[in-house]
Amino acid sequence: MSRADASALDPQSFTDQVLRALKSPGSDELFPVDVLSILPGSQRDFDLFYRKADGKTVLFCGRDYDFTERTQLRIFNMGLEELYIPAEQAEAFFRYQEEHLSEIIADESIQPTRRARVLQSTGYFLMRDVMAEPRAKALIGRAGRFVSSTVQFVLKEPTAVSHLMSLTSKDYYTYTHSVNVSILGVALLRRVRRCQHNACRVFGMGALLHDIGKCRIDPEILTKPGKLTDQEFAVIKTHPVIGYELLAAGGELPEEALSIVRWHHERFGGGGYPDGLSGSAIPEAAAITCACDVYDALTTNRSYRKAMTGVEAMELMTGPMADHFSPEILRTFLAMIRSNHPKLQKPAEPELVAADA
Ligand SMILES: [Fe+2]
Ligand SMILES: [Fe+2]
């Protein structure tokens, strides 16, 4: 078995290794998991390896052996922060992590950055399943539990957004994009109106599922490297209504969450889609999601262009794209990004901008 190449301590490489493992379940790669996401005494269906000083990985605790508090202590004494799991067991691991997510997120003895890593990789795994089978009631239940953990984290941990932003994969996948928009959206909603857990949860569900209609769009159009033809763009523009109808038919999501799915591409100044709403006719939840959606899409690599820096995205959003957003929401959003983005807390200097790319 080959060992993972990059250090798991680098949050960016950690996320990318997890994403790679989920995309290539048949490979013989090992991928890193945080030691603290393995709970002593819990049932699990995957093997745990550790990496020795010489770089070789060896079996540490097979799936048939109990992972006890003593086992955990041994790992701590060895100074290890992560263990490794074969990519072929990724499904079992992420199902396990999702089941235990609320316990991990609520555990304040775990550093926020490590809880953020767990949250994001679980979200990716969940969204992959939801997009594959969006009508399944069980999946909406799973999404609801995931969003509850997200809200709990954002509400209780002041540094949650900045930790989650540092993890964001630069590569755009609808799954990670959905998770990012939901996290940013919940944090922005809290700045716009001081709502409590339940209202944040309803909002977070809409934001997480905002692009669910893309599951019915031809992947070749979604990932086309060049410019879209008018006809292809017309197909893309159907995703808000497809998503709205899919979820409305299930009857499980409140109207506010559905409004996000339908109207996140409307523009404050008009000219958006699908209904051409403008100004205050656009529900606030959809307008909040719109700002987060655009920022996340601009700052990740797409099939047709490279990721912009945070500074470049903000310049575009306050310049040529300004009429897309409610001025008040845009102001609040930019203040949130500036205060949470590790590289935007000082006035931008040329080298700072380059480092952000
Ligand atoms: Fe969308
Ligand atoms: Fe989106």
Q: What is the pLDDT of residues 86-112, one digit of tens each?
A: 888 888 998 999 999 999 999 988 888
d(CA 20, CA 224): 21
pLDDT of residue 351: 35
State residue 38's pLDDT score: 92
Instruction: Report pLDDT for 163.
Output: 82
The segment(s) of the chain belonging to CATH 1.10.3210.10 are 100-355
Question: Taking ligand 1, which is a single-atom ion, which protein residues have CB atoms under 5 Å away?
Answer: 211
How far apart, in whole angstroms, are the C-alpha atoms of residue 101 and residue 97? 6
Q: Which amino acid is at 1?
A: M
- Residue 182 is predicted with a pLDDT of 94
Ligand (nearest to CA of 238): 1
Single-letter amino acid, residue 87: A
Superfamily of domain 100-355: Hypothetical protein af1432 (1.10.3210.10)
Residue 255 in contact with residue 234, Cβ under 8 Å?
A: no
**What distance in angstroms lies between residue 175's CA and the mean position of ligand 2's atoms?**
10
59 Cα: distance to centroid of ligand 2 (angstroms): 40
Query: Nearest ligand, CA of residue 213?
Result: 1
Ligand nearest to the CA of 266: 1
Q: What is the structure's pLDDT at 342?
A: 60
DSSP string, 142-165: HHHHHHHHHHHHHHH-TTHHHHHH
* pLDDT value, residue 28: 67
In the reported structure, the alpha carbon of residue 151 is separated from the centroid of ligand 1 by a whole-number distance in angstroms of 22
pLDDT along the chain (357 residues), means of 10: 38 62 67 88 93 87 92 90 87 92 92 87 88 83 94 90 74 80 94 90 96 92 88 96 94 94 98 97 98 93 80 94 97 92 52 31
